[in-house]
C-alpha cells in the first residue's frame, strides 16, 4: 500500500503526527486544514503543535517532498479524517466530520479508501459519513472502502505511541477493514485488530469513559480518606499492590479534549442506561469546587487573600489547556473576591496573565498546585516562603515532597489527606 497518495484532513494533535508518520513511511501525503494559519505555518517550515519528536518528523516529511500542506483536499488513493468532535453542551458536534466528508466526496474515485480517525459517537461512520460519501454515486464497501480507526495515543508521547500501540480497525465491511489494515501495517508495530465500524467507534469512547469513571472513583476515595483521617495516596498505593487492582489518582478535575468529552458520546446514545457515567462526570467536575473549599479554609482569616496558582495545563508536562479544571478553579476563586496569580512554564496563551514564580508567590496567602508539571518539584520552598504573606500550599496532585515544604515552615494540605 505504500507509495499511495494519502490526503489527511485535519492537521491537529492527531492529524499532523499521522501525516508526518505516513510521509516518512513511504506515502505521498497532502495534509489539509481549513485554518489558513496552520497551512501557512507548516509551509513556512514551522510546526504549531508542541509534541516531542513531531517537528523533526514534519520537517523530514516536507524536506523529502513527501509531505505538503494545503487548504483543500485533492484526488488521492486514501483519505484520512482527523478533525475535532467537540461537545455543544452535552451534545456531540459532528459538523467537522460532516464537512470533511463533503469535501472528500468531490474527489472520491473508485477504489479509494476513506478512514475516519476522529473520535465519533457510535454509528457516525455508518449513518453520517457513509451517506455523504455515497452522494458521489459510489457505494461504500463496493466502489470505495470506508473504515473507522481511532487513535489511543497519550498527548506528550504521541509519536512513540502512534507506532507502538495496537490499533482497532472497523470497516463498513470486511474488505474495507482489510484495505485500512494495509495502510496501518506500514507503520504500526503493535497488533492490528479488525471489527465493524460501529464497534470500533464504541471501543474508542469506552476506553476514555473507563478512565473518567476510575478517576471519579479515585476522587471519591480521596473524599472518604479525608473523613477517615487516612492518607488516600498511601491507601491507593497499597490497594494497587493487589494483582488485579489499579486505582487511578485523585486530582482537581478532569481536563483535556477527550476524557471529559467522550463519556457524553455514550450518555447521549443511552441516557437511561448510563447513571454511573453521568455521576462520574458530576464527581470529576465537582473537584474544582473542592479545591476552592479547601483554599477558603486555609485563608479564612485573611481579608482579600492573594492565591498563587501553580499550573493551568490540563495535565503535567503538556501545554494544552483544553477543558482544564484550572479555569473553573480560577473563576470560582475570583468569584469569591480572591486575587489570583498564575504560573505555568508550559502554557503559552491563557485567559489569565502568566507570571514568573517570584511575581506569583510575592505577597501570596496560599499557593495551589493544580498541574503536575515536573518543573514544580524544583521550586525551593524556603525561597518562596520568604516572598509569601503566609506559608501555605495545597497540593492537589501529591506531587511535592511535602516534608521539605513542612520543614521550610509551610502548612501543606493535600487532596485525600485531612487537615
Ligand atoms: N487525571 C486524573 N487522575 C488520573 C489520571 C488523569 O485526575 O489518575 C486527569 C488528568 O490530570 C487530566 C485528565 O484526567 O486532567 C485526562 O488525563 P489522561 O492522562 O487520562 O488523558 P489524556 O486526555 O491525556 O489521554 C487520554 C488517553 N486515554 C486513556 O488513557 C484511556 C489516551 O490514550 C487517549 O488517546 C486520549 O485520552 C485521547 O486522545 O482520546
pLDDT-derived band at 155, boundaries 50, 70, 90: confident
Where along the chain do its domains lie? 5-190, 205-279, 286-414
pLDDT of residue 50: 87
User: Mind listing the pLDDT tens digit for each residue in 314-343?
Assistant: 999 999 999 999 999 999 999 999 999 999
- pLDDT for residue 410: 97
Q: What is the pLDDT of residues 168-184, one digit of tens each?
A: 999 999 999 999 999 99
pLDDT tens for each residue of 34-59 = 999 999 999 999 999 989 999 999 99
Span from the CA of 256 to the centroid of ligand 1 (angstroms): 7
Per-residue model confidence (pLDDT) at position 231: 97
Span 286-414 CATH architecture:
3-Layer(aba) Sandwich (3.40)
The pTM of the full predicted model, rounded to 2 decimals, is 0.95
Nearest-CA residue for ligand 1 atom 35 is: 152
Q: And the C-alpha cell for 260?
A: 471529559
Q: Which tens digits make up the pLDDT trace of 283-321?
A: 999 999 999 999 999 999 899 999 999 999 999 999 999
What CATH number labels 205-279? Answer: 1.10.1040.10
* CATH topology agreement for domains 5-190 and 205-279: no
- Residue 271 to residues 94, 128, 283, 300: CA-CA distances in angstroms? 19, 21, 17, 41
d(CA 257, CA 324): 9
Question: What is the model's pLDDT at position 271?
Answer: 96
User: Pick from 90, 288, 97, 279: which is nearest to 201 by CA?
Assistant: 97
Q: pLDDT tens digits for 132-150? A: 999 999 999 999 999 999 9
pLDDT tens digits, one per residue of 66-97: 999 999 999 999 999 999 999 998 899 999 99
Confirm whether 142 is a catalytic residue: no
Please check the confidence at residue 2 and state whether its pLDDT lies above 80: no
Which residues, including other chains, have CB under 8 Å from residue 208's CB and lie 6 or more apart? Answer: 119, 258, 259, 261, 262, 263
C-beta 152 within 6 A of ligand 1: yes
Any idea which architecture 5-190 has in CATH? 3-Layer(aba) Sandwich (3.40)
CA of 68 to the centre of ligand 1 (A): 31
For residues 12-32, give the mean pLDDT.
97
| Mutate-to-test residue for ligand 1 from 256, 327, 373, 398, highest number of ligand atoms within 8 A of CB | 256
Q: Could you tell me the distance, in angstroms and rounded to a whole number, from the CA of residue 259 to the centre of ligand 1?
A: 6
Amino acid at each position: 500500500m505504500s507509495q499511495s497518495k494519502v490526503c489527511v484532513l485535519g492537521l491537529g494533535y492527531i492529524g499532523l503526527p499521522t501525516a508526518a508518520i505516513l510521509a516518512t513511511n513511504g506515502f505521498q501525503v497532502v495534509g489539509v486544514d481549513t485554518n489558513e494559519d496552520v497551512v501557512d505555518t507548516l509551509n513556512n517550515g514551522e510546526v504549531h503543535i508542541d509534541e516531542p519528536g513531531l517537528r523533526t518528523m514534519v520537517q523530514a516529511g516536507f524536506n523529502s517532498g513527501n509531505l505538503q500542506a494545503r487548504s483543500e483536499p485533492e484526488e488521492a488513493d486514501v483519505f484520512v479524517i482527523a478533525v475535532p468532535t467537540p461537545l455543544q453542551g452535552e451534545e456531540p458536534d459532528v459538523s467537522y466530520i460532516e464537512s470533511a466528508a463533503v469535501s472528500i466526496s468531490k474527489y472520491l474515485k473508485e477504489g479509494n479508501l476513506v478512514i475516519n480517525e476522529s473520535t465519533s459517537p457510535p454509528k457516525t461512520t455508518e449513518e453520517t459519513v457513509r451517506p455523504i460519501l455515497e452522494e458521489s454515486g459510489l457505494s461504500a464497501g463496493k466502489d470505495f472502502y470506508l473504515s473507522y480507526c481511532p487513535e489511543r495515543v497519550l498527548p506528550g508521547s504521541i509519536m512513540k505511541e502512534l507506532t507502538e500501540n495496537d490499533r482497532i480497525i472497523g470497516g463498513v465491511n470486511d474488505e474495507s477493514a482489510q484495505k485500512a489494515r494495509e495502510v496501518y501495517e506500514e507503520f504500526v508495530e503493535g497488533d492490528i485488530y479488525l471489527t465493524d465500524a460501529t464497534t470500533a467507534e464504541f471501543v474508542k469512547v469506552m476506553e476514555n469513559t473507563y478512565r473518567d469513571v476510575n478517576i471519579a472513583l479515585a476522587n471519591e476515595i480521596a473524599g472518604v480518606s479525608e473523613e477517615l483521617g487516612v492518607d488516600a495516596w498511601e491507601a491507593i498505593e497499597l490497594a494497587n499492590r493487589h494483582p488485579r487492582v489499579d486505582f487511578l489518582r485523585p486530582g482537581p478535575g478532569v481536563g483535556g479534549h477527550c476524557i471529559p468529552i467522550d463519556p457524553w458520546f455514550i450518555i447521549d446514545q443511552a441516557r437511561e442506561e448510563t447513571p454511573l457515567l453521568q455521576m462520574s462526570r458530576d464527581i470529576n467536575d465537582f473537584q474544582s469546587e473542592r479545591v476552592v473549599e479547601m483554599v477558603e479554609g486555609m485563608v479564612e482569616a485573611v481579608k482579600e487573600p492573594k492565591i498563587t496558582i501553580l499550573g493551568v495545563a490540563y495535565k503535567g508536562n503538556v501545554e494544552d489547556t483544553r477543558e482544564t479544571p484550572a479555569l473553573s478553579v480560577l473563576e470560582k476563586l475570583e468569584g469569591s473576591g480572591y486575587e489570583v496569580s498564575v504560573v505555568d512554564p508550559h502554557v503559552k496563551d491563557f485567559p489569565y496573565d502568566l507570571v514568573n514564580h517570584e511575581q506569583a508567590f510575592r505577597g501570596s496567602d496560599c499557593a495551589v498546585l493544580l498541574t503536575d508539571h515536573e518543573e514544580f518539584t524544583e521550586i525551593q520552598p524556603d525561597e518562596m516562603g520568604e516572598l509569601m504573606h503566609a506559608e501555605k500550599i495545597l497540593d492537589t496532585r501529591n506531587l511535592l515532597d511535602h516534608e521539605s515544604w513542612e520543614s521550610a515552615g509551610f502548612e501543606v494540605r493535600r487532596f485525600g489527606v485531612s487537615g
